Amino acid sequence: MASLIQDRLTTDQDLLLMQEGMLMRKVRSKNWKKLRYFRLQNDGMTVWHARQAGGSEKPTFSISDVETVRKGHDSELLRSLAEEFPLEQGFTIVFHGRRPNLDLVANSIEEAQNWMRGLQLLVDLVTSMDHKERLDQWLSDLFQRGDKNQDGRMTFEEVRRLLHLMNVEMDQEYAFGLFQAADMSRSGTLEGEEFVHFYQALTKRTEVHEMFENFSDDGQKLTLLEFVDFLREEQKEKERASDLALELIDRYEPSDSGKLRHVLSLDGFLSYLCSKDGDIFNPACLPIYQDMTQPLSHYFINSSHNTYLVGDQLCGQSSVEGYIRALKRGCRCVEVDVWDGPNGEPMVYHGHTLTSRILFKDVVAAVKQYAFQASEYPLILSLENHCTWEQQQTMVRHLTEILGEQLLNTTLDGLLPIQLPSPEELKGKILVKGKKLGTLEDDLEDEEEESESQLERQLGSELPLESPSEPETQELSRLSKDKKSKVVMCPLFCPPICCHIVTQASNINLGSLLLPEQKSRSILCPALSALVVYLKSVSFHSFTHSKENYHFYEISSFSETKAKSLIKEAGNEFVQHNAWQLSRVYPSGLRTDSSNYNPQEFWNVGCQMVAMNMQTAGLEMDICDGLFRQNGGCGYVLKPDFLRDTQSSFNPERPLSPFKAQTLLVQVISGQQLPKVNNTKEKSIVDPLVRVEIYGIRTDTTCQETNYVENNGFNPYWGQTLCFQVLVPELAVLRFVVKDYDWKSRNDFIGQYTLPWTCMKQGYRHIHLLSKDGTSLHPASIFVYICIRKEEEESESEF
């Protein structure tokens, strides 16, 4: 495939023009628009830029970092500049992870199309690569980096420099020996294939070779029976080992004769171990594999907090891009804070703060376009409605006209249900969560009679919107009275924490802030109320009150502080509550930097919607991404049976498990091609260590780490075994983290991979590392051996 890219570079007209370079306008905002000269490099994998043609060039991005290319019409920023530039001349480069989009405007429609077609072609080629092709491409990129004068060959000095870039600290005499052995032409330099031979000698996996010889009778090959034994005894493939062995030999053995004889060579064995079949994540858990026909309350649901924000909670940017990113990563519950806007159009933003504002109808349009791209299962719109009657009617019009048939506005069969519907039944539907007038039973009465009675009720009493009663607002009010919090109350009645931080941080004159007009009471529009079917928001008083007064279709929201308190005080009641009713947990108002809590604590009691600030990478989002990596990434994960039982006696604070306790042995063997922590320090080599973390119930949450290996990020060897005892593995999530040891300060992050215990394969496995942002660090990996043992005796008590 790498050669195919090279072939395309010399034949494809768009790619030829991109290699010549083009002057385009880079756009960051309405006020920041600058001309830059962009050029595709000769490797076909990187784009560089300069201030002008012929100027000093700098790397801009790698093709492997690009997710897709969008037309100018699909760019929120470029649409706002439509009066300055024709949208047809603009396009957007969307990157994996949380890297901001790159908006560009070409000088003509034709030039824009050249770049859009060319970039998308390269992205498609890279996406379709298998493991070997990706490795070939990585080697090609490596050669380009090492060949400093770009003459197509590398001297030993260039190779020495490249070794440092590759995190290799090696004896110069030994390195020169490898260099001479690879220099078949005796030219004193390495060209393409010679460099490949040098790399193969450099990356010889001694530990894998020793393993291979242990399982092979002659040390040259694994016979079919030997490979079956290996799969059954070491990889724990059990009864499927025989059929699987034939499949794997056919898939990974490079020689045709080996395939015919049903044997596996060392190269084939290594290819298998490095492939998705040798991955720690069980491939059976990648597609939809769980029962999707149970009530919504039986699932963990991938949920976002203040989805419109792509920065902090006080001054951050509100953007439709927040919804697009959340939906594309499988999020199934997004939050929409809606306020009165100018010209009768509702706006979405974080009220009483300095965050920017976006149109509600633009949010709804983005939701329609991206709602079911990553998952076909139901999407929940969590509406925080702060609008007047008139603008609520506008909200209803946008929701019904834009979403059309996708919007669920009545029960599935028009009859009164006895439990929440399932994700399977709600496929392709968008549900509204919010305040509601009356009950679902009222809605299903005679339509004409209902409309009259509801209007009478509405005119007779005023139902406040979510803003006065929303727990998030209550929490901020509490903070204003708490002397320890040292907040100041704004004369304009903003949430006090916001005012305190803004004034302390930037000395902004609060009196000059343009804030929405304060309204003492607002009336809920019946048309908007009618769109709330299965997800009626209600205030939480107590678990007893909920059991006696609430219906299965009513949902309560909890601040993280309140939820933590309830877990400690009444963990089992919380579990039972969540077995039949939905709960949503949201971050504390003190998290103005958009930091996150650990969601595991709330999953332990069965809370379904644990809302995360998805714009913020880190440990907490790794745990969230790890759980939802399974089941097709559809955003719904079936809870363990003891969290689905309304009579369950399970309490995560005092667990008494009926299951056998399990022992996890993790032998951390070696690492491969670990990236540098700081690419600006060419001569620095990492000192890597591996940390294994387990998150679950409190007694299962723990971590251990290996010793560090000095000056070797290329092929470090640890050979250390870590041992863990786990009581409730059904709730456990494992995180493997590689760090760079630093005796002077905190160890630096190199890479991580997080997955549920229930999706972990045993045996010899590679763990392919991800960046802090969740993007691939290919070919970086660690090689481990996983063994799970169950204790003989069972616990005396049951749930």
Tokens of 33: 């628009």
- Residue 339 main-chain phi, psi, to 5 deg: -130, 160
| Three-state SS sequence of 514-530 | CCCCCCCCCCCCHHHHC
- The angle at the Cα of 450, spanning 449 to 451, to the nearest 5 degrees, equals 95
d(CA 500, CA 185): 71
- Helix, strand, coil percentages (3-state) for the chain, rounded to 5, are 40, 20, 40
d(CA 490, CA 480): 10
Q: Would residue 418 be called left, alpha or beta, if left means φ above 0 and alpha means ψ between -120 and 50 degrees?
A: alpha
d(CA 199, CA 184): 14
3-state secondary structure of 245: helix
d(CA 690, CA 741): 10
Residue 248 and residue 277 in contact, taking contact as beta carbons nearer than 8 Å: yes
Catalytic pick among 49, 350, 766, 768? 350
Instruction: Reply yes or no on whether 305 is catalytic.
Output: yes
d(CA 175, CA 601): 50
- Give strand pairing partners of 712: 168
| Three-state SS sequence of 642-690 | HHCCCCCCCCCCCCCCCCCCEEEEEEEEEEECCCCCCCCCCCCCCCEEE
Kind and range of the H or E element at 767? strand 763-770
Catalytic pick among 49, 298, 305, 766? 305
Q: What's the residue count for the chain?
A: 799
Place of tokens 């010679």: 194
- Residue 16 main-chain phi, psi, to 5 deg: -65, -40
DSSP-assigned letters across all residues of 573-585: HHHHHHHHS-EEE
d(CA 710, CA 535): 55
**Buried/exposed 16-31: b ≥16 CB within 10 Å, e otherwise:** ebbeebbebbbbeeee
Instruction: Reply yes or no on whether 350 is catalytic.
Output: yes
DSSP-assigned letters across all residues of 150-191: -SS-B-HHHHHHHHHHTTB---HHHHHHHHHHH-TT-SSSB-
Tokens of 341: 């806007």
- Count of alpha carbons within 13 angstroms of residue 53, beta-carbon side: 7
DSSP assignment letter at 89: G
d(CA 40, CA 48): 7
Kind and range of the H or E element at 733? strand 733-740
Q: Would residue 606 be called left, alpha or beta, if left means φ above 0 and alpha means ψ between -120 and 50 degrees?
A: left
On the 0-12 / 13-18 / 19+ scale of CB atoms within 10 A, 7 is exposed
- Positions annotated as catalytic residues are 305, 350
